[in-house]
């Protein structure tokens, strides 16, 4: 108050909260709106020392291990160094708290030195070094104790309080998964442990091992959340639920399947704040972006997005759909599942038990006076035929298809038995795509190119690459993977009169690809090699993502 940082009323409010929560006063003042830099300046002036820079200091893992994650987060402390004398240096935003100091000496079992740290920097450091997964391990011990007691009747399982250890573990796994940008969480019973893995940027990584006894309780908790049958553990089941995590609305799809060691559970996290991207953020080059906008602006025709599972097809279709979302259009989608909910768009969920398949749904949509139709996936010849007929009768149809590249998508329709003239008359454009992992900017450096990488690059480009390439070598920021985040690479084709003739005349795939490349189409292989040349990814990632025909 003397320094004008906060009013007496605000300080009193913070003190009451401190007595209740037993947390640092500085952290509470920041929560109440006091700028952290002003608090830092006053406190460092009072104690006569500069704050330790936790964003730059090397934190010793053995120091972090001296205090549990739960304690560190509750009291706002980070042990970051053990000096040569065996003393533990602990960062806190309240180094003058003598009670805290005595408590830490007793807890750690050796001398400690409290050092001042700015509240926001301390919180960032706690998030880095004490993920909520650390708390999961501690909570698991309580959950194991619960499993030794007779299990409650099935109806009572749904009434577990938020304080129940199993409930806390599920919440913590979901929270950390969202913070780590995981698209999926795998809970896998093994012979001696419960393996927890996150899929981040397309790759699975081990993040936690829990006692195998927790497999059943965790599966039951997740089934309850998704209104699934908690008793039936032999039949594969699917369900979904919605939660708010870190202030973000997340749709969670839950799938269970019996394995020899117990029920395996996979959770798909659909963060609504990240699901919808504009076309400009997908990774399209300027010419590709312009072409794509031109194609989806057509009044009728069939626009296809192709690629394997997990290549970002739905994200691209949603971005295109959002461009067309205007009041004068009747837009209807049929999806399995509906991954993002739009305002002013009619979305239909596949329901096979009720007879709502893609084909039946498309027939129903055509009786609803649609202008634009999105088909989540063309899986069979019946759906393909109806999509083509819809495009020929004056509707704009957008659909996804599993195919290796743009030409392969056209030939998928031919292989389904559709006549070439129908495909040539209805399809207006095809986009093939992949998602490519990007080098971590924190640890990327030049590394030698391997012999097999030279061969791949030479096949695509017709020349050898540079002797060195940029690659992430692994750091804390990227969880030692060398990669952080992904971008799309695309192969965009507008169906011209020449291509229509090639479809009708049944030209080979090689002839069609050769014609397209000669006339300026950038292949998926060239697109990912452009990223290699720009230092944004590696040749190894290019080889993993695309293949050479």
Q: Per-residue pLDDT tens for 249-272?
A: 899 999 999 999 999 999 999 887
The region that residue 16 occupies, defined by phi over 0 for left and psi between -120 and 50 for alpha, beta otherwise, is alpha
Which domains can be identified in the chain, with CATH numbers? 8-129 (3.30.300.160), 132-273 (3.30.450.90), 276-545 (3.40.50.300)
Kindly report, residue by residue over 498-521, the tens digit of the pLDDT.
999 999 999 999 999 999 999 999
pLDDT at 161: 56
Measured from the Cβ of residue 357, the count of other Cβ atoms closer than 10 Å reads: 18
> Do 138 and 70 form a contact (C-beta atoms < 8 A)?
yes
pLDDT at 37: 63
pLDDT at 327: 77
Measured from the Cβ of residue 245, the count of other Cβ atoms closer than 10 Å reads: 17
pLDDT at 42: 62
Instruction: Give me the phi and psi of 387, to 5 degrees please.
Output: -60, -45
440's CB contacts (< 8 A; 6+ apart) are 472, 474, 475, 477, 478, 481, 482, 483, 484
300's CB contacts (< 8 A; 6+ apart) are 391, 392, 393, 394, 395, 396
C-alpha to C-alpha distance for 165 and 170, rounded to whole angstroms: 9
pTM for this structure? 0.76
C-alpha to C-alpha distance for 240 and 37, rounded to whole angstroms: 43
Per-residue pLDDT of the chain (549 residues; tens, 9 = 90+): 444 556 667 767 777 776 666 666 666 776 676 666 666 656 665 655 568 888 888 888 889 888 887 788 788 899 999 999 999 999 998 887 888 888 899 889 999 999 988 887 888 888 777 766 666 766 776 676 665 544 455 545 555 556 688 898 999 899 989 988 999 999 999 999 999 999 999 999 988 888 999 999 999 999 999 999 999 999 999 999 999 998 888 999 999 999 999 999 999 998 877 657 899 999 999 999 999 999 999 999 999 999 999 999 999 999 999 999 887 899 999 998 888 888 899 999 999 889 999 999 999 999 999 999 999 999 999 999 999 999 999 999 999 999 999 999 999 999 999 999 999 999 999 999 999 999 999 899 999 999 999 999 999 999 999 999 999 998 878 888 999 999 999 999 999 999 999 999 999 999 999 999 999 999 999 999 999 999 999 999 999 999 755
pLDDT at 156: 53
pLDDT at 125: 86
Burial of 452 (0-12, 13-18, 19+ CB in 10 A): exposed
């Amino acid at each position: 108050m003397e320094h004008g940082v906060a009013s007496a009323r605000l300080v009193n409010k913070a003190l009451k909260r401190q007595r209740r929560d037993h947390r640092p006063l500085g952290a509470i003042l920041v929560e109440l709106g006091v700028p952290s830099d002003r608090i830092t300046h006053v406190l460092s002036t009072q104690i006569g020392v500069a704050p330790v820079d936790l964003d730059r200091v090397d934190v010793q893992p053995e120091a972090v291990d001296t205090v549990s994650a739960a304690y560190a987060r509750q009291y706002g402390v980070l042990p970051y160094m053990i000096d040569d004398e065996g003393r533990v240096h602990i960062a806190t935003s309240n180094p003058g708290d003598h009670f805290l100091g005595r408590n830490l000496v007793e807890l750690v079992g050796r001398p400690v030195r409290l050092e001042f740290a700015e509240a926001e920097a301390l919180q960032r450091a706690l998030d880095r070094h004490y993920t909520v997964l650390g708390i999961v391990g501690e909570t698991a011990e309580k959950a194991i104790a619960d499993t030794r007691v007779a299990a409650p009747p099935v109806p009572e399982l749904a009434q577990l309080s938020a304080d129940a250890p199993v409930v806390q573990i599920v919440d913590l796994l979901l929270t950390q998964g969202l913070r780590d940008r995981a698209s999926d969480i795998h809970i896998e019973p093994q012979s001696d442990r419960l393996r927890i893995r996150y899929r981040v940027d397309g790759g699975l990584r081990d993040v936690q091992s829990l006692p195998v006894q927790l497999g059943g309780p965790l599966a039951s908790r997740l089934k309850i959340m998704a209104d699934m049958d908690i008793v039936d553990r032999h039949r594969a089941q699917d369900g979904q639920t919605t939660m708010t995590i870190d202030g973000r609305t997340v749709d969670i799809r839950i799938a269970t399947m019996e394995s020899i060691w117990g029920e395996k559970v996979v959770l798909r996290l659909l963060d609504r704040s990240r699901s919808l991207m504009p076309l400009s953020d997908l990774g399209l080059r300027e010419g590709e972006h312009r072409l794509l906008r031109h194609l989806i602006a057509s009044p009728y025709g069939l626009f296809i997005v192709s690629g394997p599972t997990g290549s970002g097809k739905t994200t691209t279709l949603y971005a295109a759909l959002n461009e067309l979302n205007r009041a004068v259009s009747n837009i209807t989608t049929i999806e399995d599942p509906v991954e993002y909910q739009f305002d002013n768009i009619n979305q239909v969920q596949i329901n096979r038990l009720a007879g709502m398949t893609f084909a039946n749904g498309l027939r129903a949509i055509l009786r609803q006076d649609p202008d634009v139709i999105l088909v989540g996936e063309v899986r069979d010849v019946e759906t393909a035929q109806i999509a083509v007929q819809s495009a020929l009768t004056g509707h704009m149809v957008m659909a996804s298809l599993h195919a290796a590249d743009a030409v392969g998508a056209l030939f998928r329709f031919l292989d389904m038995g559709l006549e070439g003239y129908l495909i040539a008359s209805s399809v207006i454009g095809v986009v093939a795509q992949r998602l490519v992992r990007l080098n971590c900017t924190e640890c990327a450096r030049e590394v030698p190119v391997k012999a097999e990488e030279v061969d791949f690059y030479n096949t695509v480009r017709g020349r050898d690459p540079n002797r060195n390439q940029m690659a992430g070598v692994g750091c804390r920021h990227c969880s030692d993977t060398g990669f952080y985040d992904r971008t799309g690479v695309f192969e965009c084709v507008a169906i011209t009169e020449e291509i229509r003739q090639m479809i009708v005349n049944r030209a080979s795939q090689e002839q069609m690809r050769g014609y397209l490349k000669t006339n300026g189409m950038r292949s998926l292989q060239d697109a990912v090699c452009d990223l290699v040349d720009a230092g944004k990814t590696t040749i190894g990632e290019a080889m993993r993502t695309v293949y050479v025909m």
